[in-house]
Amino acid sequence: MALATFKGGIHPPDKKELSKQRSIIPAKSPKRAVIPLSQHIGAPCKPAVTIGQEVKKGEVIGSPEGFVSSPVHASVAGKVTGFIECPSATGRMVQAVVIENNETEEWTVLKDNPDYLSLSAEELRAKVKDAGIVGMGGATFPTHVKLSPPKEKPIDVVILNGAECEPYLTADYRLMIEKPQDVVGGLKVIMKIVGVTKGFIGIEANKPDAVEIMTKAVADEPNISIVTCKVMYPQGAEKMLIKACVDREVPARGLPMDCGVVCQNIGTAVAIYEAARFGKPLIERVVTVTGEGINEPKNLMVKIGTLISDVVAECGGLKDNTAKVISGGPMMGFALFTLDMPVTKGTSGILALPESEVTHVDKFGPCIRCGRCIEVCPMGLIPSMLSVTAEKGFYEDAKAYNLYDCFECGTCTYVCPSKRPIVHLVRLAKSQVKP
Ligand code: SF4
Ligand code: SF4
């Protein structure tokens, strides 16, 4: 049977062998946690603690401002010693709470409720909101908002994204291998919250063991199906996954809810399960630390607020030939200008690349109209024109080429023989004109 997929896309080497056999192990608890008050799309939190205050793990230290916002919790127990401005992966400076770790690992109350699925949809949604859960695939959109679709957008399907199509990253893969029942538990919570009876987990065919384990995990769940998707980047993008799993198309400039679907990432589903069952807030996450430039690739459970430099040191440090470190995957991640910044809720990976794997954007050529970018764009756009209009500063003209339908997957940039930084130019244009 043909595997589920979408039109366009590419096959970059997946490089997952560097870390896929590395089980998830806890990273060292940081001596000093630097926890940003803005780790999500939407309004930053306002501080909920004062300098000198003692806090326990899981205590709220940042309160959300508005509906599209998400609380922030202490990832270590200790004393609040200050508020600082710290860099983020996107290059912005953000306010952060600093906590000196007293190393007691003392928690606020966690309570096991094995009967969590008997809670009402409203109660479960409130647990997701209170736990500060955001999209952990990198988008960081507050999850309770995504699980509150308006009445005029009825949802009938939930899809979990187990594609993890970004090369190198193996965090979601390890969660499916090691915690399949937690993944399913999270999916069932999501299905209950949005009131649907049909759930899918889309997994790329390059993870046959994950397909097998997850298939066993849903053997007694007639409403949940595993879909094996073709290995194709960007299979894990929401619109592509929806096409592959349920053959629906999200309308231009639309959202999954416009075709009756809610998508969530695997890590987010596990966080939702832990919030629903134990009341556990999102204070740690799995981070794949990998790449040819790192000495010991690992999948680490890292407390939010741990400095990336400390995580890298725990993996044996960088090799001498490392030319670039990226937060996230190589296709959609952000190159870091310093390692002196904290891991946040959206840090799916820390990727160290040697010079041989790096393309420098200051050495690009003109568009030679080869059309390769058009062939591979999964959104059916004309990336060449997006890049040319943005390069010339004709940002308004870029809108005529559906600038805002581009979700910056990097597929076009990957194939361009002139090494044109198409995604950078798209981001530049988006920063200059409103949708
Ligand atoms: S791939 Fe590069 S050179 Fe070819 S058409 Fe697209 S932008 Fe132009
Ligand atoms: S980055 Fe944008 S233009 Fe390029 S392939 Fe992806 S969606 Fe298309």
pLDDT at position 2 = 66
The DSSP code for 97 is E
Residue whose CB lies within 8 A of the most ligand 1 atoms, among 420, 422, 426, for a mutation test: 420
pLDDT higher than 70, residue 385? yes
Residue 281 pLDDT level (bands cut at 50, 70, 90): very high
CB of 37 closer than 6 angstroms to any ligand 1 atom:
no
Residue 49 pLDDT level (bands cut at 50, 70, 90): very high
Q: Which numbered atom of ligand 2 lies nearest the CA of 410?
A: 1
Provide the 10 A C-beta neighbour count for residue 415: 18
Cα(422) to ligand 1 centroid in Å equals 9
Query: 300 pairs with which residues across the strands?
Result: 25, 287
pLDDT higher than 80, residue 140? yes
Q: Of the bound ligands, which one is closest to the alpha carbon of residue 406?
A: 2
Provide the 10 A C-beta neighbour count for residue 252: 11
pLDDT at position 109 = 86
Strand locations in 111-260 (E): 157-162, 199-204, 224-229
Give the domain ranges of the chain: 111-278, 362-432
CB-CB contact of 297 with 317 (8 Å) = no
Provide the 10 A C-beta neighbour count for residue 126: 15
- Smallest CA separation from ligand 2 atom 6, residue: 409
How many angstroms separate the CA atoms of 255 and 390, rounded?
25
Q: Which numbered atom of ligand 2 lies nearest the CA of 413?
A: 4
- Sign, CA dihedral 26-214-6-371, equals positive
pLDDT higher than 80, residue 78? yes
For the record, the structure tokens of 387 come out as 């890049």
CB-CB contact of 418 with 366 (8 Å) = yes
Q: Which numbered atom of ligand 1 lies nearest the CA of 388?
A: 7
How many angstroms separate the CA atoms of 205 and 176, rounded?
14
Residue 378 phi, psi (nearest 5): -70, -15
Rg, C-alpha atoms of the chain: 21
Cα(419) to ligand 1 centroid in Å equals 8
Cα(378) to ligand 1 centroid in Å equals 15
Q: Of the bound ligands, which one is closest to the alpha carbon of residue 372?
A: 1
Helix (H) or strand (E) holding 44: none
The DSSP code for 251 is P
pLDDT higher than 80, residue 339? yes
Mean pLDDT of 329-355: 95
pLDDT higher than 70, residue 163? yes
Pick the closest to residue 184 from 273, 248, 106, 96 (CA basis). Answer: 273
Pick the closest to residue 386 from 400, 375, 398, 368 (CA basis). Answer: 398
CB-CB contact of 264 with 272 (8 Å) = yes
One DSSP character per residue, 211-240 reads HHHHHHHTTT-TTEEEEEEPS-BTTTSHHH
Cα(380) to ligand 2 centroid in Å equals 8
pLDDT at position 1 = 56
Chain segment 209-229, per-residue pLDDT in tens: 999 999 999 999 999 999 999
Q: Is 306 exposed, middle or buried, given 0-12, 13-18 or 19+ CB atoms closer than 10 A?
A: buried
How many angstroms separate the CA atoms of 237 and 271, rounded?
20
Mean pLDDT of 106-123: 96
CB of 406 closer than 6 angstroms to any ligand 2 atom:
yes
362-432 fold? Fumarate Reductase Iron-sulfur Protein; Chain B, domain 2 (1.10.1060)
Cα(260) to ligand 2 centroid in Å equals 24
Q: Of the bound ligands, which one is closest to the alpha carbon of residue 410?
A: 2
How many angstroms separate the CA atoms of 139 and 117, rounded?
27
CA 194 to chain centre: 21
Provide the 10 A C-beta neighbour count for residue 361: 13
Mean pLDDT of 284-300: 98
One DSSP character per residue, 299-345 reads EEEEETT-BHHHHHHHTT-B-TTEEEEEES-TTT-EE-S-S-SB--T
Q: What's this model's pTM, rounded to 2 decimal places?
A: 0.94
Chain segment 306-335, per-residue pLDDT in tens: 999 999 999 999 999 999 999 999 999 999
pLDDT at position 62 = 97
How many angstroms separate the CA atoms of 199 and 197, rounded?
7
pLDDT at position 40 = 82
Our CA angle for 303, 32, 143, nearest 5°, is: 35
pLDDT at position 253 = 84
Q: Of the bound ligands, which one is closest to the alpha carbon of residue 8?
A: 2
CB-CB contact of 368 with 335 (8 Å) = no
CATH for the stretch 111-278: 3.40.50.11540
How many angstroms separate the CA atoms of 228 and 59, rounded?
40
Cα(102) to ligand 2 centroid in Å equals 47
pLDDT at position 317 = 98
Cα(394) to ligand 1 centroid in Å equals 18
CB of 80 closer than 6 angstroms to any ligand 1 atom:
no
3-class DSSP state for residue 278?
helix
- Smallest CA separation from ligand 1 atom 7, residue: 384
CB of 411 closer than 6 angstroms to any ligand 2 atom:
yes
Cα(253) to ligand 2 centroid in Å equals 14
Q: Point out the least confidently predicted range of 47-61, 97-111, 356-370.
A: 356-370
Residue type present at position 111: K
Residue whose CB lies within 8 A of the most ligand 2 atoms, among 388, 407, 412, for a mutation test: 412
Cα(307) to ligand 1 centroid in Å equals 38
